[in-house]
Amino acid sequence: MKDTENGGAGFIAIDAKLPLNRHGFEASRLVLGCMGFGGGWTRDPLTAEHLKQMHEGMDAALSVGINMVDHANIYAFGKAEQVFGQMLKERPGLRDQLVIQSKCGIRWAEREGESNRFDFSKSHILESVDGILSRLGIESLDILLLHRPDPLIEPEEVAEAFEALRSSGKVKRFGVSNMSAGQMRYLQAFLDEPIVANQLELSLTKLDWLDSQVHVNQEAGKLSSFPDGTLEYCRLNHVQIQAWSPLRGLFNVDLGQAEPRVRATDELVGSMAEERGVSKEAIALSFLLRHPARIQPVLGTSRPERIRACAEAMQVELSREEWYKLYVTSRGRPMP
């Protein structure tokens, strides 16, 4: 427990058993995802309302013990980091209480006729980090993730970029996102520093991360696109697994149009939430929290009341039976 000097903050609940802890970070289990701040995917300038929303979102997160935030240089075309930087400027002292993560490697088309693309070149990584630090108004980023695998990756260049960033103090630790075990193993072979995190899309309704494990050597396994051995690689190597879009597919859908398995999952989640006196978000997130890899869900909502509803997940510990009931209901078919 640690008091903060910043409005709205009561305590910071550190999870000492997180893989990230081994890499020097005292981080909370839940992470505030910042893609929804800064006014979204428009080129309109930031407003006072966006800054107010950022303060309120951060207050809600701090009030429930969340001390880690997830950015990317592309979110809201840079405005998510910018509004976060404006907020930090108004709250001196807050930066040191946070674990700040951002990502680079996705590039929008800059001229007519160009495509959006991925870029892990040394120059692009270095330029991106300068942009991130300047928008956030900080001197050092805690964790930098490579956002999406670039097929043109030259790992020696990535290693040079990481070394330059580490030795200049601009980035403390490095990780990846949306990478398979094979891609991580390959990249790691060129790096002096450990890959500390991998952010993947995992949730109660997007289940390929589990189905790939239970359908080994079976026809049904062909339906799973999750890269074989990725969870195991991360667990063996103390790579923090983070779940992006942990509620998507259940909370932002029109249930009237949804697949029967999603409707059944919503009903089950609702009845379990009622039984325990917690929010539905808490049950959906507790499904991720119960996994022994100690996954960090990255929350997408920017609404204070929903951030608080998500945090109720920390009160829920599912039994094996409950966890499997959720899994089987969401799969929409029995275990093999």
Tell me the catalytic residues.
Answer: 75
Binds ligand NAP (CB under 6 A): choice among 92, 303, 315, 317 = 303
For ligand NAP, the binding residues in 52-111 under the rule CB under 6 A are: 70
Residue whose C-alpha is closest to residue 69's, from 101, 36, 96, 40: 101
Which CA distances in Å does 241 have to 4, 20, 136, 199? Answer: 28, 9, 24, 6
Mark the segment that binds ligand NAP (CB under 6 A) among 5-13, 117-125, 127-135, 240-248.
Answer: 240-248
Task: Give the Cα-Cα-Cα angle 301, 303, 306 (nearest 5 degrees).
Answer: 75
For ligand NAP, the binding residues in 149-208 under the rule CB under 6 A are: 177-178, 199
Taking the least distance from each CB to ligand NAP, the nearer of 173 and 306 is: 306
Minimum gap (Å) between residue 61 Cβ and ligand NAP: 12
Binds ligand NAP (CB under 6 A): choice among 4, 6, 302, 330 = 302
List, in sequence order, every beta strand (DSSP E) within 125-254.
141-146, 171-177, 195-201, 240-244
Mark the segment that binds ligand NAP (CB under 6 A) among 156-164, 212-220, 238-246, 264-272.
Answer: 238-246
d(CA 185, CA 234): 10
Distance in Å from the first CA to the final CA of the chain:
45
Taking the least distance from each CB to ligand NAP, the nearer of 220 and 255 is: 255
Minimum gap (Å) between residue 33 Cβ and ligand NAP: 2
Number of residues that bind ligand NAP (CB under 6 A): 24
The answer to whether 211 contacts ligand NAP (rule: CB under 6 A) is: no
d(CA 190, CA 183): 12
The answer to whether 38 contacts ligand NAP (rule: CB under 6 A) is: no
Binds ligand NAP (CB under 6 A): choice among 120, 174, 244, 327 = 244
The answer to whether 299 contacts ligand NAP (rule: CB under 6 A) is: yes
Mapping DSSP to helix (H, G, I), strand (E, B) and coil, where does residue 204 land? coil
d(CA 243, CA 285): 10
Tell me the residue length of the chain.
Answer: 336
Binds ligand NAP (CB under 6 A): choice among 298, 311, 318, 326 = 298
The answer to whether 301 contacts ligand NAP (rule: CB under 6 A) is: yes
Q: Do the beta carbons of residue 247 and residue 284 sit within 8 Å?
A: yes
For ligand NAP, the binding residues in 249-278 under the rule CB under 6 A are: 251-252
In one letter, which amino acid is 245? S
Q: Do the beta carbons of residue 146 and residue 157 sit within 8 Å?
A: no
Mark the segment that binds ligand NAP (CB under 6 A) among 13-21, 33-41, 216-224, 286-294.
Answer: 33-41
Q: Do the beta carbons of residue 27 and residue 21 sit within 8 Å?
A: yes
Tokens of 85: 């930087």
The answer to whether 36 contacts ligand NAP (rule: CB under 6 A) is: yes
Minimum gap (Å) between residue 139 Cβ and ligand NAP: 22
Interface with ligand NAP by CB under 6 A: which residues? 33-36, 70, 147, 177-178, 199, 244-248, 251-252, 281, 298-303, 306
